[in-house]
Chain A
Amino acid sequence: MSEGLGKYAAYILTAYGLTAAVFAVLILGALSHARRWRRRAEALTRGEPPP
């Protein structure tokens, strides 16, 4: 970064911030989806009520 972000800082930082937010949503969504259904499937297979 030679001369700072200057007058474009708002656009650049918003773009990077939104990218981080979208990836956070995709990662947390994928992990929670897998975890939720894994717990449910395991409980049902053991004959327990689903969590």
Chain B
Amino acid sequence: MLPAPAFLTNPERFMAFSRWAAPLFGALAAVLAAAGLWLGWTAPDDYQQGATVRIMFIHVPASVVAMLIYVCLAGASFLSLVFRHMLADCAAQAAAVLGAGYTALALVTGSLWGRPMWGAWWVWDARLTSVLVLLLLYVAYLALRASLDDEAKAARASAILALVGVVNLPIIHFSVTWWNSLHQGSSMLTKGALPAAYSRPLYLMMLAYLAAFGALWLVRIRGEVWRRRADAAALRAARV
């Protein structure tokens, strides 16, 4: 077996680690979000976009972390598929719920930003459509899991679906360069594209969203581990 992080191979060790790590990440997220929101709300209006530039501080982190969550979902699915590891499957299942929430948030805040700037709530643009596909992938993953009673079959089928969906990630990222798009191009990775008054709150909010995902992911995985323990205990009790 390939070496894996110790806490991913031992549920007891993971439960001990996540007991203190989840609240720590949660507190970190709250502090970062407070600082990011303060800097974001006191930032000057943009010369073109006016006050709507403040939507960037909640929209861009949601979009970026939604994609990152899919990478986590795919990674956990791969480990689950190859090693049939219970914790990896729990991690994949937990990530899907959170990924759907972050992606929905990215779409809704993007729509609320697009309406005053583009004059439309929605356009069938490559970037928007590929992010909608990401949301549909998360929903399909959750629906597939819910539709199968056999836990092993559900884990295998949903892991395959998650791995197939990875193809959508480069499409989302490069959609603004491959096709003519109403959506603006990548400015986060371009040095000097954003003035410090906007980049500081944006990066703080990005870290806050990431820390919040870390905390919520750990709590959700813990819940999944407890659910499987409850199912196993119920099965044992039924056999007696």
Contact = CB atoms under 8 A, between A and B. Distances in A.
A16 B57 CA distance: 10
B54 A25 contact: no
Contact of A19 (B51, B58, B230, B237): B58
Contacts of B233: 41, 44-45
Interface string A1-42: 111111111011011101100110111011101101110110
B219 A31 contact: yes
B43 to A, nearest CB: 8
Contacts, number: 101
Interface residues of B, number: 38
Residue in B42, B104, B229, B234 with the greatest tally of chain A CB atoms within 10 Å: B229
A19 B105 contact: yes
Interface of A: 1-9, 11-12, 14-16, 18-19, 22-23, 25-27, 29-31, 33-34, 36-38, 40-41, 44-45, 47, 50
Interface of B: 41-45, 50-52, 54-55, 58-59, 62, 97-98, 101, 104-105, 108-109, 112-113, 115-116, 212, 216, 219-220, 222-224, 226-227, 229-230, 233-234, 237
